[in-house]
């Protein structure tokens, strides 16, 4: 048996000023989108903003439903809207922010497993990394260079491709 190590790097910024102006705007939009979340059950408000290759920014917020799990996370709202509105245009960066009325958020919130899987689908499809910015209200931001780092040993559409018999 051989032991294999998996590793990746996360960068931490203490404030928005450590990011490019483009990424600062994206984080601010994600934070703004927490105000538009519909989360009457969990009171966990999440916002996301996706920067596309063409300069467009598409935003989203989580949308809950009393019939769990019929709601949708902010990241998927933004990513699916971006893909529907601008098919074939690469996603460069996604910023995510969360707030709540009843819990103390100690660290920037990262995407759930379903959102990671969806983000990875687009990263694989476009054959280019999607940078992930995870922002906390106090200014701390975690930066992940590509979605694949958030989902090691991942499953993607590539695993479903048929073998070429020829």
Residue 158 domain flag:
no
CATH code, domain carrying 15: 3.40.140.10
Q: What is the pLDDT of residues 130-157, one digit of tens each?
A: 999 999 988 899 999 999 999 988 887 7
DSSP lists the bridge partners of residue 95 as 49, 133
Provide the pLDDT for residue 139. Answer: 86
Query: Treating both helix axes as pointing N-terminal to C-terminal, what angle do 74-85 and 113-126 enclose, rounded to 10 degrees?
Result: 30
Residue 160 domain flag:
no
Residue 162 domain flag:
no
Q: Residue 162 is encoded by which pair of tokens?
A: 């048929």
Over residues 76-98, mean pLDDT: 98
- DSSP class of residue 147 equals G
CA 61-49-151 angle, 5° bins: 90
Does 165 have pLDDT greater than 80?
A: no
Residue 85 domain flag:
yes
Q: Determine how many CB atoms are found less than 10 A away from the CB of residue 34.
A: 22
Q: Determine how many CB atoms are found less than 10 A away from the CB of residue 142.
A: 18
Does 76 have pLDDT greater than 80?
A: yes
Domain that residue 84 falls in = 10-152
pTM: 0.92
Count structural domains, the chain. 1
Enzyme catalytic residues? 75
Spatial distance between the Cα atoms of 137 and 148, rounded to a whole number of angstroms? 25
């Amino acid at each position: 048996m051989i032991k294999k190590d998996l590793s990746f790097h996360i960068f931490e910024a203490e404030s928005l000023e450590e990011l490019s102006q483009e990424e600062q705007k994206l984080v601010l939009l994600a934070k703004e989108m927490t105000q538009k979340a519909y989360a009457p059950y969990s009171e966990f408000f999440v916002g996301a903003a996706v920067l596309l290759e063409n300069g467009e920014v598409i935003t989203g917020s989580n949308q809950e439903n009393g019939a769990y799990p019929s709601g949708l996370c902010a990241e998927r709202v933004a990513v699916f809207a971006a893909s529907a509105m601008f098919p074939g245009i690469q996603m460069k960066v996604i910023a995510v922010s969360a707030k709540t009325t009843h819990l103390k958020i100690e660290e920037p919130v990262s995407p759930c497993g379903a959102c990671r899987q969806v983000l990875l689908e687009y990263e694989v499809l476009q054959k280019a990394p999607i940078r992930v910015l995870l922002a906390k209200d106090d200014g701390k931001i975690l930066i992940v260079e590509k979605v694949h780092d958030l989902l090691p040993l991942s499953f993607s559409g590539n695993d479903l491709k048929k073998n070429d018999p020829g």
